[in-house]
């Protein structure tokens, strides 16, 4: 399959069969490509190839690993237009968002090219004069990576870049809705000079592939991004081999507006964070808590942003609101909105499928939301802002911390002491204070509680793919 200057078929050696699954454009329903349903033997062969590649790849000197990763980053950057169009075609987000995501993917490879050279060990002062304690970081082994559809390029890069930088071959299973971005990156990885077996993509039945990857003792680490339900299942499946896991799971972010907030900036940031990718982001605010003193002012500004959103095909530069990925996603949003209205929420904007049809849902604002509603308890994963006002910040803290999710949250205000103390009191892996762009390659991304285990990005990101080895040396 050719996409612009990319020959994605290069990632596979077989032709289409009846068992292949179809990748469709969520905006038009058109076929974007076909993906093989790989039999168990092919997945086994990938594990064997990765296992065989491990000894050699982990022994490659770090400057060479760094050069290959940087070359891959450059190739991704050079192919930004093709990759962004491919991403929009299979995922649906506006082209500007797709380009930003490709930029982020390239940045992860560039950052971890440097990190490959910073796997420094440690000499620890021994309690005995006749010994020295040396600690080094060794690559953990073959990595299995399973990724979701909402960020088909950057979720892949967040796993593949640090794993390969640490010296670990990767077997990647992308989401079936959006596998082509992953395949395109694998093609570019080959062009960058990555040896055979260091990055392989497997596609097909998720449960069967997941069972093979989690049960195989040759795999040292499972890195998963997706729903908490699937993460929980994979966690259990890894118990048999005591496999280390990285889990980036569901979020249910809160957006808190304190009485001294800059309302213009808070409203603009709230709308950007809420409606990016039509609310299909793990760090997307689900619940908005606005202090009663500034409620009216915030709402007026927020609605002005909502009213400017334009649902449409991502390739049209005027489009700013993406379609939802599929019918089940749309049905979930409808269920959440209906439940909120039935329980007494007020519908201020939207609340139905968009007139343009397909899987678009109108940008929706609910007011008078309480904590019994589905929108307050579960990820909606759609363009629905559920807003309530508050008087006492302690009540908000309790409501945020009552959630079983603990991925991200946002606070807007001016008094730095209040902002810091509030942020520190929240059981969240990440808090944006007067800022919403959390996903940077040098920062440790991840959640607490049922939002996950471990961190992606930053120096912590490469250490996830390493085991410490302690050497006691007698002298």
Q: Does 251 contact ligand NAP by CB under 6 A?
A: yes
Sheet holding 384-390, edge to edge: 346-349, 364-367, 384-390, 285-291, 253-257, 408-412, 430-433
Q: Does 36 contact ligand NAP by CB under 6 A?
A: no
Residue 291 belongs to what H/E stretch?
A: strand 285-291
Q: Does 133 contact ligand NAP by CB under 6 A?
A: no
- The DSSP annotation for 303-331 comes to HHHHHT--B--TTSTT--BPPPSSHHHHH
CB of 126 to ligand NAP, least distance (A): 40
Strands 285-291, 384-390: parallel, antiparallel or unpaired by DSSP? parallel
Q: Does 434 contact ligand NAP by CB under 6 A?
A: no
3-state secondary structure of 131: strand
Q: Does 230 contact ligand NAP by CB under 6 A?
A: yes
Taking CB under 6 A as the criterion, the residue among 220, 250, 432, 457 binding ligand NAP is 250
Nearer to ligand NAP (CB atom), residue 151 or residue 255: 151
Q: Which stretch binds ligand NAP (CB under 6 A): 25-33, 246-254, 291-299, 353-361?
A: 246-254
* Helical axes 62-78 vs 180-192, angle rounded to 10°: 130
Tell me if 241 sits within 8 A of 459, measured CB to CB: no
Q: Which stretch binds ligand NAP (CB under 6 A): 52-60, 247-255, 386-394, 467-475?
A: 247-255
Q: Does 282 contact ligand NAP by CB under 6 A?
A: yes
CB of 447 to ligand NAP, least distance (A): 6
Tell me if 116 sits within 8 A of 64, measured CB to CB: no
Active site residues: 248, 282
Q: Does 314 contact ligand NAP by CB under 6 A?
A: no
CB of 464 to ligand NAP, least distance (A): 13
Q: Which stretch binds ligand NAP (CB under 6 A): 104-112, 114-122, 223-231, 287-295?
A: 223-231
Return the exposure string of 120-132: e unless at least 16 CB atoms fall within 10 Å of the residue's CB, then b: eeeeeeeeeeeee
List of residues 6+ apart from 155 with CB closer than 8 A? 147, 148, 225, 248
Q: Does 225 contact ligand NAP by CB under 6 A?
A: yes
Taking CB under 6 A as the criterion, the residue among 25, 90, 97, 379 binding ligand NAP is 379
CA–CA gap between residue 73 and residue 61 (Å, rounded): 19
3-state secondary structure of 138: strand
The DSSP code for 294 is: T
Q: Does 429 contact ligand NAP by CB under 6 A?
A: no
Q: Does 89 contact ligand NAP by CB under 6 A?
A: no
Nearer to ligand NAP (CB atom), residue 26 or residue 312: 26
For ligand NAP, which residue has the nearest CB? 210
Tell me if 255 sits within 8 A of 287, measured CB to CB: yes
Show contacts of 315-320: CB within 8 Å, 24+ apart: 315/27, 315/85, 315/88, 315/95, 317/95, 317/96, 319/94, 320/94, 320/275
Beta-ladder partners of 136: 469
CB of 23 to ligand NAP, least distance (A): 12
3-state secondary structure of 367: strand
Q: Does 377 contact ligand NAP by CB under 6 A?
A: no
Nearer to ligand NAP (CB atom), residue 171 or residue 321: 171
Tell me if 134 sits within 8 A of 470, measured CB to CB: yes
Taking CB under 6 A as the criterion, the residue among 68, 116, 249, 321 binding ligand NAP is 249
**Contact flags string 146-165 toward ligand NAP, x per CB under 6 A:** xxxxxx---x----------
Q: Which stretch binds ligand NAP (CB under 6 A): 61-69, 185-193, 203-211, 267-275?
A: 203-211
Q: Which stretch binds ligand NAP (CB under 6 A): 4-12, 144-152, 311-319, 349-357?
A: 144-152
CA–CA gap between residue 84 and residue 61 (Å, rounded): 33
Minimal CA–CA distance to 159: which of 446, 469, 467, 406? 446
Where does this chain bind ligand NAP (CB under 6 A)? 146-151, 155, 173, 175-176, 206-207, 210, 225-227, 230, 233-234, 248-251, 282, 379, 407, 445, 447, 452
């Amino acid at each position: 399959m050719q996409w612009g200057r990319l020959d994605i078929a290069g990632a596979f050696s077989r032709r289409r069969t009846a068992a292949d699954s179809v990748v469709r454009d969520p905006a038009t329903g058109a076929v974007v490509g076909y993906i093989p349903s790989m039999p168990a033997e092919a997945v086994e062969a990938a594990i064997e190839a990765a296992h065989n590649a491990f000894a050699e790849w982990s022994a490659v000197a770090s400057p060479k690993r760094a050069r290959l990763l940087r070359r891959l980053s450059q190739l991704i950057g050079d192919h930004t237009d093709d990759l962004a169009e491919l991403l929009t075609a299979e995922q649906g987000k506006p082209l500007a968002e797709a380009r930003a995501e490709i930029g982020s993917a390239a940045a992860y490879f560039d950052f971890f090219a440097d990190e490959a050279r910073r796997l420094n060990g440690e000499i620890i002062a021994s309690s005995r004069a006749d010994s020295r304690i040396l600690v080094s970081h060794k690559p953990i082994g073959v990595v299995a990576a399973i990724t979701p559809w909402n960020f088909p390029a950057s979720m892949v890069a967040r796993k593949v870049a640090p794993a390969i930088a640490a010296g670990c071959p990767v077997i990647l299973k992308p989401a079936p809705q959006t596998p082509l971005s992953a395949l395109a990156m694998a093609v570019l990885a080959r062009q960058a000079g990555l040896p055979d077996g260091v990055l392989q993509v497997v596609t097909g039945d998720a449960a069967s592939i997941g069972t093979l990857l989690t049960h195989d003792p040759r795999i040292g680490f499972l890195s998963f991004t997706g729903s908490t339900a699937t993460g929980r299942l994979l966690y259990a499946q890894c118990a048999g081999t005591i496999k280390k896991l990285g889990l980036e799971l569901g979020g249910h972010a809160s957006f808190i507006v304190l009485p001294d907030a800059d309302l213009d900036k808070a409203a603009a940031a709230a709308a950007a964070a809420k409606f990016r990718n039509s609310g299909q982001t793990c760090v997307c605010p689900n619940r908005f808590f606005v202090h009663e003193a500034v409620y009216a002012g915030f709402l007026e500004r927020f609605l002005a942003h909502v009213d400017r959103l334009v649902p449409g095909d991502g390739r049209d530069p005027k489009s700013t609101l993406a379609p939802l990925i599929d019918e089940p996603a749309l049905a979930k949003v409808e269920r959440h909105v209906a439940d909120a209205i039935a329980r007494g929420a007020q519908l201020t904007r939207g609340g139905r499928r968009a007139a343009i049809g397909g899987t678009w849902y109108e940008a929706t604002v609910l007011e008078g939301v309480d904590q019994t509603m589905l929108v307050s308890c579960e990820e909606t994963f759609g363009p629905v802002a559920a807003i309530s006002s508050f008087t006492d910040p302690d009540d908000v803290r309790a409501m945020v911390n009552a959630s079983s999710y603990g991925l991200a949250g946002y606070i807007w205000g001016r008094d730095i002491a209040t902002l810091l103390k509030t942020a520190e009191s929240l059981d969240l892996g990440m808090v944006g204070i007067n800022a919403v762009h959390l996903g940077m390659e040098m920062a440790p991304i991840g959640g607490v509680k049922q939002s996950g285990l471990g961190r992606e990005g930053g120096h912590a990101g490469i250490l996830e793919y390493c085991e410490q080895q302690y050497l006691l040396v007698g002298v």
